[in-house]
Structure 1
Amino acid sequence: MKLHGKKCQLWSVGLLLAAGAAGLAPASAEGITVPDNAKVRQMPWGEFKLAPRIVEKLAAGEKANIVVGLEGTGIPIQGAEMRMGMARGCENANKELPAECRMVGPVNPDTSRQLSELETILNSGQVDCLALQPPLPNQFTGIMNKYADAGIPVFAINIDAPKSKRFAYYALNEEQAGKINGEATAKLVKEQGIEVKQVAMGSGAPDQPWAQSRMRGFIEGYKSVFPDAKFFNDDKSGLPTGKNFTTQEVLNSVTPFLTANPDVTLFFHTDQGVEGVGNVIRNLNLTGKVFTSGFNVSGPILDAIANGTTLVTIDQGFDNQAQAPVEQCARFLAKGDAPADPLQYLLPIVITKAGGEGQITVDNGRDRLKAASE
């Protein structure tokens, strides 16, 4: 998982009202006629046939049930932002056809519970289009294929299942996002005249493809500004900072690492562990001497950017990752539109102290964080 963060499994009457979403004015009181290219469509993996029950209910003016399934609905930031995005997407979806949007998944990551719920709502006909976050790459290929075989369009979000019968995948291009971070970090180092002797990298999941892609991208982006930069480790040997992604684990792992390696004056972290790295720098009285950059957003991460300890962080835009497939569900059912390229990469939201071209300021970051917390 890539935040890491999570979500609630209630039908969205209360949820969507609270989020300002779904159940808006129907596109047509008489219902809609599903186009032929949505009823039957040739996909790279074979022929897809939309379930006749979906065609019939939309023709009768009933609402399409669009479901967003998360690994964990209560994961900090991710869960709340995904809820916001689903609400926005559902509002826009209702311009195409009558739709109601629902979020499902265990509050905290639980693969067995997540899979069981997906089986239940599939077998009871509660889903007309699904946007799903698998726990790991390709881990839920089987259930996603069951949905597609049952005539339900499926989209992957945040974590991909490229071997499945999914229509498309919505998330960051991890390597590109890492590259953007590395380049932005290097430019700030250059502008501020920071002396960087050696760069080290760490992750809560250094063995995972998403983390290695971010590290690989960071190296490329940083070296585009400083070609001769020295790296302590590479994308295959990032420092493990704690599999549970907690700040305390980062304190326990990065404190002795920086103490033993005084030449490391810049530490890139692939996830919210950047918060802990900032704490380590302050605890060791290395503020102004050692710096960090990373991914994700929290109050302490934004504080660290404001005081100069953290140079760059990437807001993954979880709201955008949920919004896009919800809208795509409506476009497919109403118009037969589907992405030509299954890899629908979204742009990262780059946060620096002062902002700039293609970046937002700390204050802008705080506004997004506040919205996700309300």
Structure 2
Amino acid sequence: MFLQLVSQVWGLGLPRRGGVRGVAVAAVLAVALLASGCGSGGDGGGSAPSPAAVESSPEAVDASDSGVGDGGGGDEPAPEESEEMVEAPPAAATAAPTAAPVPLGPPHTAELPWGDFALAERIAAKLADGQQLNFVLSANATGSGGSGEVMGLGWEQAASGFGADINPRVIGPNSADRAAQIETIDSLIGSGSIDCLAVEVDDPAAFVEVIDRAVDAGIPTFTVGGDSADSKRFAFYGLDDRAAGKLVGAVAGEWAAERRILMRKAAVLTANVDDPRYQARMQGFVEGLLEIHSGIEFINGPDMGIESLGFDPDEVYAATEAWVLANPDADMIFHTDQGMAQLARVIADQLLYGDMYTSGFHMNEDMANYLRDGVVVAAVAQGLSNQANSAGAACGQFLLQGAHETGHVVQEPLIATESNVDTVDWTQPENQ
């Protein structure tokens, strides 16, 4: 049945890295051989032969060749049409036979859709000297329950996979505060404390300027969670929120149809109605559910009668309880984010088992129990740890190997249902 086919597992492992080290060694040997072949009657001049082109495609060379671990992931999902693997040309390596050979290394420039990028001289110097690199992830919120907590695990895991001295940092306000988040990024750009940057974006337009300032300062920059497509970011690692929301709607619809549960009214709830990610998820859910139950009535929707419930757990619970008591005839309620946990708890506390169901974007062991109890129908693991892991890997790949991606690199959602709830360890960050 359809329901048995919708549970999907991310292929979010780090791409296999191109091998630059082997080519560098080959260049050294080539120069040495040329030097030894020059007789005493020669002019002692000439140049070393040009090295072979460096293949930096992730599929070309095994990770063991570059000294890079797999970061805990599997194979990278096939890129979409909007995604392009870009290989910067290798730098020329020439030297007189009597001089030390110039080692090959990652290029300090890159061609991107918006123009040419030049790496900051201070970062290039740190790479040449083998100094510690600062990989910085800016999260919306770093306090308990915030995105930074889970994203930080993937960020650190990616940094530990490279054979280099990397300091992975997670910065951001304790609770969601966009202005404070941007201010902190600006401060670190000004102090030269960022060598590669990833930004969790909750408003595309709001982050354009700070991302562009980072890139103009020579810092390779990526986005996670949400995108700022009009900025100069290299690539965005995240879900296709609308497609994932539509899949949840279809799963919920099929679930009800198989059990002959009458779906008369549905609704959507969200922490932030202005967040484009959440808007896309709600729109997708409405589309997916209506494809299965065309006659269902929506009490509210992305464009009508919906209010932001916020992120504070106690406040969200109180607001959600008031909404549920005011709308007891809602059969299926979709939630865009972690507020789904409070919604499930309200349904259970009000003993609405079998009368009201929920589905949405949040997954952990508590949600797994609600799935087993029949309160939750479908829960999407948002994959924030995996997205941060991919961005951290992208930092290492560009700075240490000279390879990078552009566009939206889609991370596939993992959807928990009653059919797979007992087959996955939901306590692991990569499954949340």
TM-score bracket, shorter-length normalisation: 0.7 to 0.9
User: How far apart are residue 344 of structure 1 and its match?
Assistant: 1.4
Number of paired residues?
335
The reply to whether residue 275 of structure 1 matches residue 344 of structure 2 is no
User: How far apart are residue 202 of structure 1 and its match?
Assistant: 1.8
Matches within 5 A, 1:200-219: 200-219=267-286
Q: TM-score, normalised by structure 2?
A: 0.70
Corresponding residue of 2:194: 127
CA RMSD after TM alignment? 2.8
User: How far apart are residue 267 of structure 1 and its match?
Assistant: 1.1
- Work out which of the residue numbers 50, 54, 65 in structure 1 matches 2:123: 54
Q: Is the contact between residue 133 and residue 156 of structure 1 (CA under 8 Å) also seen in structure 2?
A: yes
User: How far apart are residue 234 of structure 1 and its match?
Assistant: 3.0
Corresponding residue of 2:112: 43
SS at match of 1:146: helix
Structure-2 separation of matches of 1:251 and 1:315:
24
The reply to whether residue 162 of structure 1 matches residue 162 of structure 2 is no
Structure of larger gyration radius: 2
Corresponding residue of 1:10: none
Matches within 5 A, 1:80-99: 80-92=149-161, 94-95=162-163, 97-99=164-166
Q: Is the contact between residue 206 and residue 238 of structure 1 (CA under 8 Å) also seen in structure 2?
A: no
Q: Is the contact between residue 64 and residue 99 of structure 1 (CA under 8 Å) also seen in structure 2?
A: yes
Cα 1:32–1:64 change in 2 (3 A) is farther
SS at match of 1:162: coil
Structure-2 separation of matches of 1:266 and 1:219:
11
Q: Deviations over 1:66-109 (max 9, x none)?
A: 111112212516222212101221122x14x5433222223223
Q: Which amino acid aligns with 2:375?
A: T
Q: Is the contact between residue 77 and residue 297 of structure 1 (CA under 8 Å) also seen in structure 2?
A: no
Cα 1:273–1:112 change in 2 (3 A) is closer
Structure 2: unaligned runs, 5 residues or longer: 1-65, 69-101
Q: Which amino acid aligns with 2:427?
A: D
Corresponding residue of 2:137: 68
Cα 1:151–1:230 change in 2 (3 A) is same
The reply to whether residue 344 of structure 1 matches residue 344 of structure 2 is no
SS at match of 1:126: coil
Structure-2 separation of matches of 1:278 and 1:109:
23
Q: Is the contact between residue 32 and residue 59 of structure 1 (CA under 8 Å) also seen in structure 2?
A: no
Q: Which amino acid aligns with 1:333?
A: L
Q: Is the contact between residue 203 and residue 238 of structure 1 (CA under 8 Å) also seen in structure 2?
A: no
Structure-2 separation of matches of 1:300 and 1:199:
23
Q: Deviations over 1:199-220 (max 9, x none)?
A: 1122222243222211111122
Structure-1 separation of matches of 2:419 and 2:169:
38
Q: Is the contact between residue 140 and residue 173 of structure 2 (CA under 8 Å) also seen in structure 1?
A: yes
Q: Is the contact between residue 414 and residue 431 of structure 2 (CA under 8 Å) also seen in structure 1?
A: no
Cα 1:212–1:365 change in 2 (3 A) is farther
Q: TM-score, normalised by structure 1?
A: 0.80
The reply to whether residue 78 of structure 1 matches residue 144 of structure 2 is no
Structure 1: unaligned runs, 5 residues or longer: 1-25, 356-360
Corresponding residue of 1:5: none
Corresponding residue of 1:366: 426
User: How far apart are residue 343 of structure 1 and its match?
Assistant: 0.9
Q: Deviations over 1:223-254 (max 9, x none)?
A: 33334433333331253252345354444355
